[in-house]
Amino acid sequence: MTAVDYDLEFREDGRVIELISIGMVADDGRELYAISSEFDQPAVRRHPWLREHVWSQLPIVKNWEGVRGVDRLDLDHPDVRPRAQIARLVHDFIVAAGPDVELWANWGAYDHVCLAQLWGPMIALPEGVPMFTHDIQQEARRLGIRWDELPKQEGGEHNALADARHNRTVRRWLATRAQERTA
């Protein structure tokens, strides 16, 4: 089995889960980070939590066109890509991990839906992309470990790549706990 640990930053309002950024790390050491050029920037800026924790970590052009306080995403930044391009990169990334790839995320239900919607409706999920994401929280629960006993992230929270790296740390830590119990 090869695992791909991932994390998304997204905007959601109870109806829509819209991709902002995605980070992925594979057991073989590959990493992917991309920011969507297509999310609703005004909606993210208006959202106090997203503005503070997510928007603040994105490549931003400040005072756009000389207007104070008008910030926008830097569309020329190499990490910023159209959704269709991100979909291709993510597909290639997952397929390269091999046919027994497992997707892993933390509290990952929304992440899985938002990821799958890169390709449109559920039925359009491409060959090679797993139809579900393993959840760190479920594995912790299975092992009787409380969420607050898991390894803590040292920094970079809500940067999708930093979060994906931390997810890998936690998943491997849990795998070691599971192994100890069967030893």
Which residues from 72-91 bind Mg ion, rule CB under 5 A?
none
For residue 129, the SS3 value is coil
Binds Mg ion (CB under 5 A): choice among 5, 7, 111, 139: 7
Q: Does 139 bind Mg ion (CB under 5 A)?
A: no
**CB of 68 vs Mg ion, minimal distance in Å:** 30
- Of the pair 53, 88, the CB lying nearest Mg ion is at 53
- Of the pair 22, 73, the CB lying nearest Mg ion is at 22
Q: Does 163 bind Mg ion (CB under 5 A)?
A: yes
φ/ψ of residue 83, rounded to 5: -60, -40
- Of the pair 129, 161, the CB lying nearest Mg ion is at 161
List the structure tokens of 34: 């991309």
Residues 15/25, Cβ–Cβ less than 8 Å = no
| Residue 5, C-beta contacts closer than 8 angstroms, at least 6 positions apart | 24, 25, 26, 104, 105, 164, 165, 167, 168, 171
- Of the pair 90, 179, the CB lying nearest Mg ion is at 90
Q: Does 5 bind Mg ion (CB under 5 A)?
A: no
Number of residues in the chain:
183
Instruction: Give the residues lining the site for Mg ion (CB under 5 A).
Output: 7, 163
